[in-house]
Chain A
């Protein structure tokens, strides 16, 4: 976007003296400084434009080059600073640090809000507002989400409480802690703390609804001959029998071993076998299979069509 002529921005004649430039900029900046005009987007844009113009015109060398036409108005672009505007912090939670505590505490402010009384209120004294809700995000381990847990939660300096994570809580679910949010208005009830749960993934288990899915590696002999094997579940290991000739991909259901809920509902766990060869190649096995394969041909890709 083309920059406006810096003289026009500040409303100056090209013959203006350095002192005039400074005085004019100060006068305008006092009116348009964005931290003195929070919430006024137009003031911020205007201030940016003015600052850029002033940067150019207050630098004698740059100003001379601009007057000679060697640089355009954008040559005055203010470098991006590593810090942000004060108001961005002052309006958020950190701003409480510079609260003018003695002069105007939260209670005084709430009295101001009480002026917006509802005249039809039964109490006559009017409006008691509920405080604002505070939002938090909490990362929860997969197994804690499935089984339930209690977690200590820091809600700010010197404020902590024990949060009960109910069994079966899902990723993205919001837990509400009544009365743990912002203070109420003129004696109204406090707001709530709303905690969004982020369930972390588990290296073994996957969750689909209330069911848990697990890929379980088995050895070649276990798959061919059948075996009794130990299977991890979300609440400890159980033993499971796999019948002889159980192929890779075959799934078993462990009833009632899925996600449990407070009301007693409980999902299932599905165990899918993954036949796994020995980690190092075995010449004996290879020799056996070479001979066996020659006399026992079979085609698992039958029915996939010919390429």
Chain B
């Protein structure tokens, strides 16, 4: 678990305003505890992914929801396949 500031420190190239914006857009959904955000490991990894998509890959802001939506569906399928494989 990490708080907001720790995430900013851990992941290069993002600032507080940007992360606030991503949370508001619900691209990343940390838990809220008493007015503070708490990021699980998966949330931190997702922030990292979004940072890479936006900055390294130069994907436009309005395109990000499309990319994330497709990725979420891809991973839902892969999770389900994995579950079935274990059956």
A residues adjacent to B (C-beta < 8 A):
25-26, 29-30, 33, 35-36, 38-39, 81-92, 94-100, 103-104, 106, 109-110, 113, 129-133, 181-182, 185, 191
Contacts and interface: CB of A to CB of B under 8 A. Distances in A.
A113 B73 contact: no
B42 A89 contact: yes
Most chain-B CB neighbours within 10 Å: which of A86, A94, A104, A113?
A86
Contact of A185 (B46, B78, B79, B84): B84
B31 to A, nearest CB: 10
B76 interface: yes
Contacts of A87: 75
A130 B72 contact: no
Given A33-B53, A100-B72, A109-B77, 17 more contacts: A33-B57, A38-B75, A83-B11, A83-B45, A83-B48, A84-B45, A89-B42, A90-B71, A91-B78, A95-B42, A97-B42, A98-B75, A106-B80, A109-B80, A110-B80, A130-B87, A131-B84
Contacts, number: 111
Contacts of B42: 86, 89-90, 94-95, 97-98
A131 B41 CA distance: 27
A133 B72 contact: no
A110 B49 CA distance: 28
Nearest to B41: A89
Interface range on chain B (Cβ under 8 Å from partner): 35 or more
A95 B79 contact: yes
B58 interface: yes
A30 B10 contact: no
A132 B49 contact: no
28 contacts: A29-B56, A29-B57, A33-B52, A35-B71, A38-B78, A83-B41, A86-B45, A87-B75, A89-B42, A90-B78, A91-B75, A91-B78, A95-B79, A96-B79, A97-B40, A98-B42, A98-B75, A100-B72, A100-B73, A100-B76, A103-B69, A103-B73, A129-B84, A131-B83, A132-B86, A182-B83, A182-B84, A182-B86
A227 to B, nearest CB: 58
Most chain-A CB neighbours within 10 Å: which of B53, B58, B84, B85?
B84
Contacts of A181: 87
A96 B40 CA distance: 13
Interface of B: 10-11, 29, 40-42, 44-46, 48-49, 52-53, 56-59, 67-69, 71-80, 82-87
Contact of A94 (B40, B58, B59): B40
Contacts of B53: 33
A239 to B, nearest CB: 52
A83 B7 CA distance: 10
Nearest to A31: B57
A97 B67 CA distance: 17
Contacts of B85: 132
B77 A191 contact: no
A289 to B, nearest CB: 64
A130 B85 CA distance: 11
B76 A99 contact: yes
A86 B76 contact: no
Contacts of B84: 113, 129, 131-132, 182, 185
Contacts of A104: 73, 76-77
Most chain-A CB neighbours within 10 Å: which of B48, B71, B87?
B87
Most chain-B CB neighbours within 10 Å: which of A30, A33, A95?
A95
B57 A30 contact: yes
